[in-house]
Amino acid sequence: MKYYYEYPRPCVTVDTVVFGLDEGDLKVLLIQRAQDPFAGRWALPGGFIHMDESLEDAARRELEEESGVKLAYLEQLYTFGNVKRDPRDRVVTVAYYALVKLSAHAPHAASDASNVAWFPAADVPTLAFDHAKILETAMARLQAKVRYQPVGFELLPEKFTLTQLQKLYETVLERLLDKRNFRKKLLKMGLLEELDEIEQDVAHRAARLYRFDRKRYAHLTKKGFNFEI
Amino acid sequence: MKYYYEYPRPCVTVDTVVFGLDEGDLKVLLIQRAQDPFAGRWALPGGFIHMDESLEDAARRELEEESGVKLAYLEQLYTFGNVKRDPRDRVVTVAYYALVKLSAHAPHAASDASNVAWFPAADVPTLAFDHAKILETAMARLQAKVRYQPVGFELLPEKFTLTQLQKLYETVLERLLDKRNFRKKLLKMGLLEELDEIEQDVAHRAARLYRFDRKRYAHLTKKGFNFEI
DNA sequence: CCAAAAGTGTTTCACTTACACCCATGA
DNA sequence: TCATGGGTGTAAGTGAAACACTTTTGG
A182 and A81 co-located in one domain: no
Residue B48 with chain A: CB contacts under 8 Å:
2, 4, 7
Q: Per CA to C1' distance, which residue is closest to C15?
A: A185
Residues A128 and A157 in one domain: no
- Select the more confidently predicted residue: B3 or A68: A68
Say whether both B47 and B117 belong to one domain: yes
| A162-194 pLDDT tens trace | 999 999 999 999 999 999 999 999 999 999 999
Asked if B48 and B12 touch (Cβ cutoff 8 Å), the reply is: yes
Give contacts of A82 with chain B, Cβ < 8 Å.
54
> How many Å does it take to go from CA A175 to C1' C18?
16
Structure confidence at residue B36 as a pLDDT band (50, 70, 90): confident
3-class state of residue B169 by DSSP: helix
- Name the residue among A7, A11, A54 with its Cβ closest to that of B7: A11
A13-36: per-residue pLDDT in tens? 999 999 999 988 999 999 999 988
Out of A81, A101, A132, pick the residue that ends a domain.
A132
The total number of structural domains that make up chain A: 2
Domain assignment of residue B227, yes or no:
no
Band of residue A66 on the pLDDT scale cut at 50, 70, 90: confident
- For residues A44 and A115, state if they share a domain: yes
Classify each residue of B40-78 as buried b or exposed e, where b means 16 or more C-beta atoms within 10 Å of its C-beta.
ebbbbbbbbbeeebbbbbbbbebbeebbebebbbbbbbb
Residue-level pLDDT at B107: 47
Domain final residue, candidates B109, B124, B148: B148
- The stretch B184-194 carries a mean pLDDT of 97
* Confidence at residue A7, expressed as pLDDT on a 0 to 100 scale: 87
Q: Which residue in A11, A33, A54 is closest to B9 by CB distance?
A: A11
Q: Is residue A227 part of a domain?
A: no
The CATH number assigned to the domain holding B182 equals 1.10.10.10
| In a shared domain, residues B111 and B173 | no
User: Are A9 and B4 inside 8 Å of each other by CB?
Assistant: no
Write down the pLDDT at residue A186. 98
Residues engaging strand D (CB under 7 angstroms) = A 161-163, 179-181, 183-184, 198, 203-208; B 178-181, 185, 202-206, 228
pLDDT above 80 for B81:
yes
Please check whether residue B91 lies inside any domain of the structure.
yes
Residue-range definition of the domain harbouring residue B23: 4-148
**A7/B contact by beta carbon, under 8 A:** yes
Nearest to A92 by CA among B172, B14, B146: B14
Q: What is the CATH number of the domain that holds B67?
A: 3.90.79.10
pTM to 2 decimal places? 0.94
User: Would B35 be classed as within a structural domain?
Assistant: yes
B91–A4 CB contact, under 8 Å: yes
A66-75, B77-86, B166-175: the lowest-pLDDT one: A66-75
Is the predicted pLDDT of residue B171 greater than 60, yes or no? yes
- Computed over every residue of chain B, the mean pLDDT equals 93
Distances (CA, A) of A198 to A162, A210, B181: 11, 9, 47
* Boundary (domain end) residue, out of B148, B178, B207: B148
Q: Does A49 touch chain B (CB under 8 A)?
A: yes
CB atoms within 10 A of CB A51: 11
* Interval A58-74 mean pLDDT: 93
Interface membership of A200 toward B (CB under 8 Å): no
Examine the domain organization and report whether B66 and B142 are in the same domain: yes
Confidence of residue A1 (pLDDT cuts 50, 70, 90): very low
How many distinct helices (H) and strands (E) make up chain B?
A: 5, 10
Condensed to tens digits (0 to 9), the pLDDT of residues B83-123 reads: 999 999 999 999 999 999 997 655 444 444 469 999 999 99
Between positions 148 and 177 of A, the ones with CB within 8 A of B are none
Position A92 pLDDT exceeds 50: yes
Is A74 part of any domain?
A: yes
Mean pLDDT of B169-198: 97
Give yes or no: residues A23 and A124 share one domain.
yes
**Co-location of B108 and B177 in the same domain:** no
**pLDDT bucket at A105, cuts 50 / 70 / 90:** low
Cβ proximity of B41 and B31 under 8 Å:
no
Per the domain annotation, does B90 fall within a domain?
Answer: yes
Residue B45 is given by DSSP the state: S
Same domain, A23 and A107: yes
Instruction: Give the chain A residue whose CA is nearest to the CA of B90.
Output: A51
Domain match, B101 and B176 both = no
Looking at the structure, do residues B38 and B69 belong to the same domain, yes or no?
yes
The answer to whether residue B229 sits within a structural domain is: no
Looking at residue A129, the DSSP 8-state letter turns out to be T
CA distance B103 to B117: 15
Same domain, A92 and A186: no
Element at B222 (helix H, strand E): helix B214-222
A100: helix, strand or coil: strand
Q: How far is CA A66 from CA A15, A114, A117, A127, in A?
A: 12, 11, 11, 17
Work out the mean pLDDT of chain A and round it to a whole number: 93
Average the pLDDT over A49-53 and give the result: 97
What was the pLDDT predicted at B226?
93
In a domain, A116, yes or no: yes
